[in-house]
Amino acid sequence: MSMLSIKGITKRFGGVTAVDDVSFEVFEGTIHAVIGPNGAGKSTAFNVMTGFDKPDAGTVTFEGETITGLKPHRIVKRGVVRTFQNTMLFDEMTALENVLVGMHVRTRVGFLGAALVLPGVRAEERLAREEAHRMLRVVGLDEEAGATAGDMPHGQRRLLEIARALGAGPKLMLLDEPAAGLNNAETAQLAETLRRIRDTGVTIVVVEHDMGLVMDVSDEIVVLNEGRKIAEGPPLLIQKDPAVIEAYLGEEALDA
> Which residues of the chain form contacts with other proteins (CB under 8 A)?
72-73, 76-77, 82, 88-93, 97, 100-102, 104-105, 107, 109, 111, 114-115, 121-122, 124-125, 128, 150, 164, 168
Contact assessment for residue 36 and residue 42, using Cβ atoms and an 8 Å cutoff: yes
CA-closest candidate to residue 222, choices 209, 208, 211, 233: 233
Q: What letter does residue 60 receive in the DSSP assignment?
A: E
Q: Which is nearer to other proteins, 116 or 237 (CB)?
A: 116
Contact 55, 67 (CB under 8 A): no
Separation of alpha carbons 221 and 232, rounded Å: 6
Rg, the chain, Cα only: 19
In this complex, which beta carbon is closest to other proteins, that of residue 76 or of residue 138? 76
End-to-end CA distance of the chain: 44
Closest contact distance (angstroms) between CB of 238 and other proteins is 31
Residue 75 CB-density burial (10 A; 0-12 exposed, 13-18 middle, 19+ buried) = buried
Nearer to other proteins, 72 or 212 (CB): 72
List all residues 6 or more positions away from 60 whose beta carbon is below 8 Å from its beta carbon: 4, 5, 6, 7, 9, 48, 49, 51, 66, 67, 68
**From the CB of 100, what's the least distance to other proteins, in Å?**
6
Rounded least distance, CB 128 to other proteins, Å: 7
Q: Can you spell out the DSSP letters for 90-117?
A: -TTSBHHHHHHHHTGGG----HHHHHH-
Q: Cβ 43 to other proteins, closest distance in Å? A: 17
Cα 37 to Cα 158: distance, rounded to the nearest angstrom: 22
Nearer to other proteins, 57 or 88 (CB): 88
Nearer to other proteins, 111 or 254 (CB): 111
Q: How far is the CB of 207 from other proteins (least distance, A)?
A: 17
Least spacing, CB of residue 144 vs other proteins, in Å: 17
Beta strands in 63-211 (DSSP E): 65-66, 80-82, 172-176, 203-207
Q: Would you say how long the chain is, in residues?
A: 256
Report in angstroms how near the CB of residue 88 gets to other proteins at its nearest: 4
Amino acid at 94: T
- Give the residue with the Cβ less far from other proteins, 90 or 248: 90
Q: Which is nearer to other proteins, 69 or 150 (CB)?
A: 150
**Running DSSP on this structure, what letter comes out for residue 208?**
-
